[in-house]
């Protein structure tokens, strides 16, 4: 399996449940949180040639009345996770998506449609990314400058909510729909021409979790995002209400409930985490589940800190009290212990 392209368990969203063969998957908690997006990327990417793969919906999942299934597919750069920036996708609502920005493209597609995704590296300065619907060419959606990719590979990815998806990387005996001449499925690209994404930690002893401490609005989320960007090789998964809200297209108050579910399943995955949640209950939930993680505590911004005072001036900065709790003793500095291996005394923000 190592030499074949499948959906990577190391870079997928935590709430994405891959199928047994890892050529597809679906969101977790779909019935309870039908608006929650979940994404995954392949284990391998490419930097040259003319490469393709195909995707389609395999099942509409049961959901609440009024919810709808949406999915998108495309390519993303070899950094971060499938749902993050540096991605180029085709959305089922007839939209192309680049780094979170939407424009009309092609036409809508749904359950019975096969979407072909094509990456053409033949031009000396540009990469052309195009799509097809049921074998019919929809044209180029993106022309990406090669120097902007910085020699990083492009990897197939998929995002979905309310449905299960399956992908064809070339493992099937026949394509799901016709493919233009000159393009090869990524499975058929010679191994030396494919780029393997770095594997995740081999054991929980190699994993770590950063527990964020500080008052709401003190800059914890900003620090967590910056720390994650500065340590890309660790591929931190940030668990926090703000991150869930970014992926959840329903009511705000559901974010805390969804976050609790993610905290419960997170210790099953061999990954590095940042627990961006001030609630002691969330810290306790983690400790009750995890086994062997190297724990660190990051931050300490009291009510008299510069970060706290400046946050008071920003409209809408504070999270709602209904889904986040303020610690009883926010100014009390945590101490090292057998469980807490390091204190990072950063000013947050």
Does 27 share its domain with 62?
A: yes
- Asked if 104 and 95 count as a contact pair (C-beta separation under 8 A), the reply is yes
Q: Which of 149, 173, 196 delimits the end of a domain?
A: 196
In a domain, 8, yes or no: no
Which strand (E) or helix (H) includes residue 288? helix 280-289
Number of domain units in the chain: 2
88 lies in which domain range? 16-196
Does 239 share its domain with 177?
A: no
Does 272 share its domain with 320?
A: yes
Domain at 233, CATH number: 3.40.50.300
Does 22 share its domain with 66?
A: yes
Of 171, 155, 168, 185, the closest CA to residue 50 belongs to 185
Does 308 share its domain with 336?
A: yes
In a domain, 49, yes or no: yes
Does 149 share its domain with 165?
A: yes
Does 158 share its domain with 235?
A: no
The b/e string for 325-342 (b: 16+ C-beta within 10 A; e otherwise) is beeeebeeeeeeeeeeee
In a domain, 349, yes or no: no
- Asked if 40 and 16 count as a contact pair (C-beta separation under 8 A), the reply is yes
Per-residue pLDDT tens, the chain, 349 aa: give them.
445 678 998 889 888 999 999 999 999 887 777 778 899 999 999 999 999 999 999 998 886 655 567 889 999 887 544 444 578 999 999 999 998 889 999 999 988 899 999 999 999 999 999 999 999 999 999 999 999 998 889 999 999 988 999 999 999 999 999 999 999 999 999 988 999 988 888 888 888 888 887 777 778 888 888 888 888 888 888 888 777 776 665 455 567 777 778 878 887 788 888 878 645 565 566 656 555 566 666 654 444 444 444 444 444 444 444 333 444 454 455 555 545 556 565 554 4
Q: Which of 143, 171, 196 delimits the end of a domain?
A: 196
In a domain, 211, yes or no: yes
Does 230 share its domain with 297?
A: yes
Does 86 share its domain with 163?
A: yes
In a domain, 155, yes or no: yes
Whole-number pLDDT of residue 202: 84
Which positions ≥6 away from 219 have C-beta within 8 Å? 301, 307, 311, 347, 348, 349
Does 213 share its domain with 340?
A: yes
In a domain, 1, yes or no: no
Does 262 share its domain with 119?
A: no
The Cα 47–Cα 34 span in angstroms is 35
Q: Which of 196, 224, 246 delimits the end of a domain?
A: 196
In a domain, 11, yes or no: no
Helix then strand then coil, % of the chain, to nearest 5: 20, 35, 50
Does 252 share its domain with 157?
A: no
Of 339, 283, 248, 47, the closest CA to residue 273 belongs to 283
In a domain, 7, yes or no: no
């Amino acid at each position: 399996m190592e030499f074949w392209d499948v959906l990577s368990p190391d870079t997928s969203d935590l709430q994405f449940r891959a199928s047994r063969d890892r050529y597809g998957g679906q969101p977790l908690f779909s019935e309870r949180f039908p608006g929650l997006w979940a994404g995954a990327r392949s284990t391998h990417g490419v930097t040259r040639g003319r490469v393709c793969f195909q995707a389609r919906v395999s099942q509409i999942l049961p959901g609440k009345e009024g919810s709808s299934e949406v999915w998108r597919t495309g390519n993303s750069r070899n950094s971060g996770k499938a749902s993050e920036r540096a991605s180029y996708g085709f959305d089922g609502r007839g939209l192309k998506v680049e780094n979170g920005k939407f424009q009309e493209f092609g036409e809508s597609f749904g359950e019975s449609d096969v979407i072909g995704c094509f990456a053409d590296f033949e031009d000396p300065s540009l990469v052309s990314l195009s799509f097809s619907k049921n074998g019919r060419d929809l044209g180029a959606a993106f022309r990406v400058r090669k120097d902007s990719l910085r020699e990083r590979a492009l990897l197939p990815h998929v995002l979905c909510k309310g449905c299960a998806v399956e992908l064809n990387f070339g493992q099937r005996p026949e394509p799901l729909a016709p493919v233009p001449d000159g393009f090869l499925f990524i499975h058929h690209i010679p191994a030396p021409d494919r780029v393997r994404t770095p594997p995740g930690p081999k054991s929980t002893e190699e994993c770590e979790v950063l527990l964020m401490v500080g008052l709401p609005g003190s800059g914890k989320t900003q620090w967590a995002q910056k720390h994650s960007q500065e340590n890309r090789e660790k591929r931190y998964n940030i668990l926090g209400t703000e991150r869930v809200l970014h992926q959840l297209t329903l009511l705000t108050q559901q974010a805390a409930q969804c976050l609790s579910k993610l905290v419960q399943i997170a210790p099953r995955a061999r990954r590095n985490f940042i627990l961006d949640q001030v609630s002691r209950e969330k810290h306790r939930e983690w400790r009750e589940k995890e086994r062997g993680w190297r724990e660190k505590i990051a931050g300490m911004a009291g009510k008299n800190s510069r970060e706290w005072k400046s946050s008071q001036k920003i409209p809408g900065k504070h999270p709602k009290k209904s889904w986040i709790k303020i610690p009883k003793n926010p100014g009390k500095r945590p101490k090292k212990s057998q469980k807490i291996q390091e204190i990072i005394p950063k000013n947050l923000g």
